[in-house]
Amino acid sequence: MAQVSTDAASGPQVLVLRLSGALDYESEDIVSQQLRHHIALSDAPDIVLNLADVSFCDSTGLNTLLRAFHAARDRDAHLTLAEAPAHLARILAVTGIDKVMLITGTNEPPAEPEGLGRLAPS
């Protein structure tokens, strides 16, 4: 079962959430609820989802990440995916999510390149 926990690296400027386990159909409800809860309660302008401990991710898991992206955007925060394992990094590239969301190898949010990480307003 997937879990969401607050990372010790979190502070007033960055909220670091560590995801672990399988991001899939079975975990979607609880993970989405936890991500929305943490994102809504934080005032940090940068949110990092650390994916180092994600063992599996299917299309439902990708949808969960995209909903977290939208939740952050809705409150004018930047969301970064960090430390994605090789299997997940491939999925993010093949699906084009790496063209929409910021992805980095560390918990430090990168400077946002022009146009990246911003979808047209819904």
Domain spans, the chain: 3-104
For residue 120, name the pLDDT band (cuts at 50, 70, 90): very low
Query: What digits encode the pLDDT tens for the residues 91-116?
Result: 999 999 999 999 998 877 766 544 45
Q: What is the pLDDT of residue 106?
A: 80
Does domain 3-104 fall under CATH 3.30.750.24? My reply is yes
Quick check: 36 pLDDT over 50?
A: yes
Q: What is the pLDDT of residue 118?
A: 45
Q: How far is CA 44 from CA 39, 75, 77, 101, in A?
A: 9, 10, 7, 18
Q: What is the pLDDT of residue 114?
A: 47
For residue 122, name the pLDDT band (cuts at 50, 70, 90): very low
Can you say how many angstroms the Cα of residue 16 is from the centroid of all Cα atoms in its chain?
A: 9
Q: Dihedral angle at the C-alpha atoms of 14, 5, 117, 96, nearest 10 degrees? A: 150
Q: What is the pLDDT of residue 110?
A: 67
Q: Which of 94, 107, 11 is nearest to 50 (CA)?
A: 107
